[in-house]
Amino acid sequence: MSGGPASTTAARREVVLGLRSVSKRFGRVVACDDVSLDIGAGEIRGLLGQNGAGKSTLMKIVAGFVRPESGELTIHGKTLGFGDPVVAAERGIAMVHQHFSLVGPMPVWKNVTLSDRGHTRVDRSGVSRQITEVGRRYGLDVDPDAIVDDLSVGERQRVELLKCLRRQPDVLILDEPTSVLTREESTALFRVLRRLARERGQSVVLISHELDEMLEVTDRVTVLRDGRVVSTVESAEASADSLAHEMLGQDFAVSAEVLGLSVEGSHASRARTHAPPRRRAAPAGHDVPVLELADIKVTSAEGHALLDGVNLEIAAGEILGVAGVAGNGQEELTGLLSNLIGPDSGEVRVEGRPIRTGRGRQLGRAGVGVIPADRHDSGCVLEMTVAENLALGSLDGMVRWGVVRQQQLHELGRRLVADFRIITSSLGAPLRSLSGGNQQRVVLARELARKPCVLVAAEPTQGLDIGARGYIWDRLREAAATGTGILLISSDLAEIMALSHRVAVINRGRIIGTMPRADVDTAELGRMMGARTHDRG
């Protein structure tokens, strides 16, 4: 919790960043609506809100990536124009985006210098020395010569931070920095942020929807809802419940019941949240498991076991949760069922029929839908329109003579946008223009529209706020209730426990235990998962 030396009240702080009456629209969608706020020197300010509340758009305006229709931006009391990221950087504003902007095949030192201005030759040794010095100062050690593709997610974020910190910015903006980090990596990041604020007096804006981390690291929290500021509170005086109330408004009671937050007078609702879900009986004709993995083995190019004799069965209407520390075979399991990789041995059966994986669209045609862990990497095409992304799994019936029938495309799009409450300016808007939560709804809507017999949901709510998370949970439960078997692969134990009928534990590529949800002991589950990601070679 904050509340120490860095929690000085706003009245005692010099205002470093000021926003006055900032408004921005994307078509009919109001992203920011007359927003005003001040960020003080040495302050860690949380920016909290549901997906689509306007958090990222507002900070992209500050960093010069988006130009608003109206408003004023000041740095140290001096007006700064909008829409020029180079000028914003020169005036001391740096932003680490939610999705990294690194070039994978390049070494760290080249990535760090990509945004440098001028045409002078880059001093490799000087840049490497600077990376080492700044990394040591803030606990962000990384090898300047390492290839980015070889780094872990946490190490890649260090590179993004080093790109910013070597310029010694006055304002550092981080957009959902912990959405892909482990708890240990998040804790290390928070230490860096506190050091920046307390020792160097830098202002930090932390965009997030995670209530606990807001209370842990920030001095004050500003809550946005529907593009407007609804409150700014001292973190030391706030609670998860109070922030959720502000963030969700009238939807709080529904989301709280789904996620187990306290709601006055709703103890029965909380009890229901933690009760084991009911498993729907298999429909007639579905006595055979809808998905079977039989002794699946996948090895790396170096010969290391990635999946080591995996055996799993899922019944119609069942949600099987796979719990484990990230890096223990979950990515390979999802890749196998997405046709991205084939097994070295073993068999995949869908409704009793063997399916050859790793080629074409065999699993998709057999009735397997997939929500991938990284929607941007393999779940959608950001430059394509909302309607086109919604139709990606259903194009076979829309194409005539090699041309997509636009009327059918838009009829499907209109229906799914309405059914899944997707917020978009139009069906023709690029998917990139949607918030993260609405992008995930597009992926979910597309997969469920195909009425799959099996749905693989890998980290389905990663990076989503509690309102969007609750909505996704409800749609997964509804799918199971209609007979879809769901393989839920998640590093979020609360998600596993809330949704699963049975829980399987994956460790070093092996399924080391499977048990009914009602029999799960969380302490034993944690022991089985292990405290760290295991080294497999």
The per-residue pLDDT string of the chain (537 residues; one tens digit each, 9 = 90 and over) reads 333 334 444 445 789 999 999 999 887 778 899 999 999 999 999 998 877 788 889 999 999 999 999 999 999 999 998 989 889 988 999 898 877 778 888 898 888 888 776 556 778 888 888 888 888 887 778 888 999 888 877 788 888 888 888 888 899 998 888 766 667 777 888 888 888 888 888 899 999 877 888 888 999 999 998 899 999 999 999 988 888 888 877 555 444 544 455 444 333 333 334 455 665 554 444 468 999 999 999 988 777 888 999 999 999 999 999 988 777 888 899 989 988 888 999 999 999 999 888 766 788 888 999 998 877 766 788 888 998 888 887 766 676 776 777 888 888 889 999 888 888 888 989 988 887 778 888 998 889 888 999 999 998 887 777 777 888 899 999 999 999 999 999 877 778 888 999 999 998 889 998 999 888 887 777 677 763 434 433
pLDDT of residue 533: 39
pLDDT of residue 167: 82
Task: Report d(CA 248, CA 300) in Å as an integer.
Answer: 45
pLDDT of residue 2: 39
pLDDT of residue 114: 80
**pTM strictly above 0.95:** no
Report how far apart, in Å, the C-alpha atoms of 88 and of each of 14, 44, 94, 193, 341 are. 19, 19, 8, 21, 44
pLDDT of residue 218: 94
CATH of 291-384+438-536, one of 3.40.630.20, 3.40.50.360, 3.40.50.300, 1.10.1040.10: 3.40.50.300
Which DSSP state fits 451? -
pLDDT of residue 180: 65
Pairing type for strands 15-26 and 454-458 reads unpaired
Report how far apart, in Å, the C-alpha atoms of 351 and of each of 17, 286, 516 are. 59, 8, 22
Pairing type for strands 171-175 and 203-208 reads parallel
Measured from the Cβ of residue 331, the count of other Cβ atoms closer than 10 Å reads 18
pLDDT of residue 9: 47
Task: Report d(CA 12, CA 470) in Å as an integer.
Answer: 39
Long-range pairs, 339-342, Cβ under 8 A, ≥24: 339/363, 339/364, 340/378, 341/298
Task: Report d(CA 465, CA 171) in Å as an integer.
Answer: 25
pLDDT of residue 532: 41
Return the domain boundaries, the chain: 291-384+438-536
pLDDT of residue 170: 92
Measured from the Cβ of residue 194, the count of other Cβ atoms closer than 10 Å reads 17
Pairing type for strands 399-400 and 403-404 reads antiparallel
In the chain, the amino acid numbered 161 is L
**Which residues on adjacent β-strands are paired with residue 477?**
none
